[in-house]
Amino acid sequence: MLVDSHCHIDFEEYADRIPQVLENMARNQVTHALCVCVNLADFPRVLALAESHSQLFASVGVHPDQGEDASPGVKDLIERARHPKIVALGETGLDYYRQSGDLEWQRTRFRTHIRAARECGKPLIIHTRDAGEDTLRIMREERASEFGGVMHCFTETLEIAQAAMELNFYISFSGIVTFKNAHAIKEVAKAVPLERMLVETDSPYLAPVPQRGKTNEPSWVRHVAEEIARLRGISLEAVAAATTDNFFRLFRPVL
């Protein structure tokens, strides 16, 4: 069995096809998915999905691509994170690729999420793009290692993966690992120990080979796991078992 550790099936794309998405998961032995919040305005929708489906869990957070005005306070996050179906804080982090200019607000928002995670004892879902060094620096300064989390949709170097693992973080691979030209990330996926690895779709984005160009969905996390198994010369079952165990060890959801 497999778990999609990161998806956004609360987005409009899925408004009238959640039953189909859940059925496709079941058919591919994808037993659970974590629906990740990107903005407090969307939080009720994310939580409602998790509350009405036993296969789904949720998080609370504000994505670094959401403009400066969307920044939450520590209290806003903690209040929402107390719900038993909320298993993590995020996604949060730094994105220097999609946002430019003075990004001090992004770094402040990231610190706010780390402080909220500490207060509620739940792990972090970190998004980092073209900002690896600053991300690690803030993780160290805020002692994120005390409660850990995941570096989601990992696209950085092996050195950054290693530094994150030393800080008690898991590394999550998305459909990017199936892309033909993604040589560097394939190498990282071979090197990260299985016991530190998660798999995800980041649906609706990044549909894996052989579904590229379509709206991604959690059942296709299977293609991600298959590619990692192929790269490492091990069985799909071995990748599925390890990444599923890791998911439950990290997020400790109430089943």
Interface with Zn ion by CB under 5 A: which residues?
91, 127, 202
51: tokens are 């509350």
> Which of 129, 222 has the CB closer to Zn ion?
129
Q: Which amino acid is at 79?
A: E
CB of 174 to Zn ion, least distance (A): 9
CB of 128 to Zn ion, least distance (A): 9
> Which of 39, 55 has the CB closer to Zn ion?
39
CB of 125 to Zn ion, least distance (A): 8
> Which of 10, 202 has the CB closer to Zn ion?
202
In 70-165, DSSP assigns E strands to 86-95, 124-129, 149-151
CB of 157 to Zn ion, least distance (A): 18
CB of 6 to Zn ion, least distance (A): 6
> Which of 80, 127 has the CB closer to Zn ion?
127
How many other β-carbons are positioned within 10 Å of the β-carbon of residue 103?
18
- Nearest Cα neighbor of 189 from 219, 148, 233, 149 is 233
> Which of 195, 212 has the CB closer to Zn ion?
212
Calpha distance 240→242 (Å, rounded)? 6
Calpha distance 130→192 (Å, rounded)? 20
Calpha distance 126→107 (Å, rounded)? 12
CB-nearest residue to Zn ion: 127
Is 186:155 a contact under the CB 8 Å cutoff?
no
* Adjacent-strand bridge partners of 94: 128
Calpha distance 107→168 (Å, rounded)? 20
